Amino acid sequence: MSRNGGHEDPSGEAGGGCPGPLAGIRVLELAGLAPGPFAGMMLADHGAEVLRIDRVSAVEAAGDRPRPDAMDRGKLTIGLDLKSPGGVAAFRRLAAGADVVIEVFRPGVAERLGIGPDDLRAVNERLVYGRMTGWGQDGPLARTAGHDIDYIAVAGVLSMLGRAGDKPTPPINILGDFAGGGLMLAYGVLLALFERERTGRGTVVDAAMVDGAALLFAMFSQSAQAGLWGPRGTNLLDTGAPMYDTYATADGGYVAVGALEPAFYEELLAKTGLTDLPSRDDRANWPRIRERLAAAFASKTRAEWERIFEGSDACVSPVLDVGEAARHPHNAARGTYVDVGGVAQPAPAPRLLGGGHDERSVPAPATRLRDLSAWGIAEEDAKALREAGVLA
């Protein structure tokens, strides 16, 4: 699908995406907050060559040291002053040989810099221009500031999160920033690349976190409007049910319980010795069931409960911290976490099996790109840009 066909890492150094289905796709990623780099990381994880465009000062400060940041893994990086005419001209030359641009500015900023979609498609009509914002490129809120918590609030998502009787509780910034934003942007880029195969032309991807967050809650939004989903914290999947919640253990740890199906619930009762509990089908019994389960789990350590439930279908799991998760036998067996520059990071996902490439390749830390000739900027031009302080 690449404009230029397959190619090797032009730097001759470590870096570049892992082998995968996106090999041959070139991506220019304009530096921004985590959701944008997350989208670029996903593309790099599956073979795209991602060149991150950062501030000159940031790249000079980092030097040539590999950057183990998870959001930057598998990427190449340069510094470019996009507020200078020389920097803008250089970016356009890079875009002429790219397949994708990822931009995360407020609406109108890229156009003012001279690197908006129309500016770049004038030099590359096949370019896919991926834009991610909180509110989208249009609408009354498009030019206002916001964060994940604001986007999921307006999407109707935040109102559904939290325990009964408590205020809405955001699940850090996963739903708006990463799932509704970065993940949707990566998905949109792939859609646009697929469409380009038919039309021969690139398009603009307008990925808005408010849109993405709303889409993620499609099932719950429909259920709420149909009267099938009650106030937050009172439903089967939002800690309203005692068989779908977390419980403290004797050593200060926690276990997660997801025994929804009757057979799994019966196994939960057998393993905890609570076979005399009242019927869970009557919601009036839920407080009593929760109380008994809480007392039972508090009587043993998390490790003891792990041994009791090992290999069972009771759907009881230990609540692990990040370090423990990387060492867990299941995750270790699957290679769910990999070492990138001495840092444990989640491995690329999802996996494509039987496609003739190794989707379990370990990404390399981000690496500074020195030789831009394969990207259309000759060494003498790059030298002049560096001397002018435009390129690093």
In order along its 392 residues, the chain shows pLDDT tens digits of 444 333 333 333 434 445 789 999 999 999 998 999 999 999 999 999 999 999 999 999 988 888 778 999 999 999 999 999 999 999 999 999 999 999 999 999 999 999 999 999 999 999 999 999 999 999 999 999 999 999 999 999 999 999 999 999 999 999 999 999 999 999 999 999 999 999 999 999 999 999 999 999 999 999 999 999 999 999 999 999 999 999 999 999 999 999 999 999 999 999 999 999 999 999 999 999 999 999 999 999 999 999 999 999 999 999 999 999 999 999 999 999 999 988 899 999 998 887 666 556 788 999 999 999 999 999 999 999 999 999 99
Q: Is 259 exposed, middle or buried (0-12, 13-18, 19+ CB in 10 A)?
A: buried
- The pTM for the full model equals 0.91
Question: What three-state secondary structure class fits 49?
Answer: strand
Q: Which string of b and e fits 341-360 if b means at least 16 CB within 10 Å?
A: beeebebbeeeeeeeeeebe
Whole-angstrom Cα distance, residue 132 to residue 113?
Answer: 17
Does residue 177 carry a catalytic annotation? yes
Whether residue 329 is preceded by a cis peptide bond, meaning omega within 30 degrees of 0, is: no
Domains along the chain with CATH numbers: 26-220+361-388 (3.40.50.10540), 244-327 (3.30.1540.10)
User: 67 pairs with which residues across the strands?
Assistant: 366
7, 147, 328, 357: which is the annotated catalytic residue? 147
Residues near 67 by Cβ (< 8 Å), separated by ≥ 6? 77, 341, 365, 366, 367
45, 177, 211, 238: which is the annotated catalytic residue? 177
Whole-angstrom Cα distance, residue 342 to residue 336?
Answer: 16
